Amino acid sequence: MTEDQKKIKTMVDEIAKWSKLADDCKQQLERLKGEFQKLGAAELENTKLKQVEFWGNGAAKVVVTQSETVKVFSHTFLLQTLDQLLKDFSKEKVTYEYTEPFKRILSSVCQGNYSEGSLDDVISQITGDDKTRKALKKKLKGNWEKDIQVLLSLTEMTEQEAKHYAYFVQEIINWEKIVHLLESAGHHKDTQNFDVALNAIKHAVIVEEGVKVGIETGEVA
């Protein structure tokens, strides 16, 4: 056997060893990712958070992100419902691209992440102080995490109470955006036409949910 043949055989053995090791590592990595998907889903359940972090002993961490993909399978349904208003939220190509704010409204409709009512009604339940109510009206934006901090800074709520109200604030603001969208398209609230339009959007859009696990490594202290 020549030296070249010996070298090739050694390289074959090496690539086989590393290939097997890579497969084992991939299986172990997928198993751990699966565990973190379950942990992340439990942490994110019943919250408006989309991301949670798990830290190791040093600088490494695992980031679990809940993703949403809004897919419109019937542009015709949306066009019939929103008419010319749809042009403000889409770019006409071979396929249609929709703005991120518009997709968030569609997601709220399809997933039922809204509560009928008004922000003023929710704020009235929180406080009877006019100055506080005006401040809350100005600062509550429907961002769950930020709204929690606003409620904690402007009221005497506990953190749990703030989370509870921030959840409903986001649902109410989602509803207000839906109403504004449909009324801009000529479908007025509290009419049968409004309900028909709302259902048409639910039938025109699919929201696919997924969970992404990201790993960040750093120097271990």
pLDDT tens digit at each of 221 positions of the chain: 888 888 988 988 888 888 888 888 989 998 998 899 889 888 888 888 888 999 988 888 999 988 888 888 778 888 888 888 888 888 776 567 889 999 999 999 998 999 998 999 899 999 888 999 999 999 999 998 999 999 999 998 999 999 999 999 999 999 999 999 999 999 999 899 999 999 999 988 888 887 766 656 554 44
118 and 75 within one domain: yes
Residue 117: inside a domain: yes
Residue 123: inside a domain: yes
Residue 129: inside a domain: yes
Domain count, the chain: 2
Predicted local confidence at residue 221, as pLDDT: 40
CA atoms within 13 A on the CB side of 62: 17
Sequence-distant (6+) residues with CB within 8 A of 220 are 57, 58, 59, 60
74 and 46 within one domain: no
Q: How far apart are CA 21 and CA 23, in angstroms?
A: 5
Residue 52: inside a domain: yes
Predicted local confidence at residue 94, as pLDDT: 57
96 and 191 within one domain: yes
112 and 197 within one domain: yes
Residue 154: inside a domain: yes
Q: How far apart are CA 73 and CA 68, in angstroms?
A: 16
76 and 24 within one domain: no
Q: How far apart are CA 121 and CA 129, in angstroms?
A: 14
Task: Specify the long-range contacts of residues 93-97, CB closer than 8 Å, at least 24 apart.
Answer: 96/72
Residue 219: inside a domain: no
Grouping H, G, I as helix, E, B as strand and the rest as coil, residue 47 is coil
203 and 102 within one domain: yes
Predicted local confidence at residue 220, as pLDDT: 41
User: Of 22, 40, 65, which one is at a domain's C-terminal end?
Assistant: 65
106 and 179 within one domain: yes
196 and 106 within one domain: yes
State the Rg of the chain over Cα: 25
49 and 17 within one domain: yes
Domain residues for the domain of 204 are 67-209
User: Of 14, 40, 65, which one is at a domain's C-terminal end?
Assistant: 65
Q: How far apart are CA 53 and CA 37, in angstroms?
A: 11
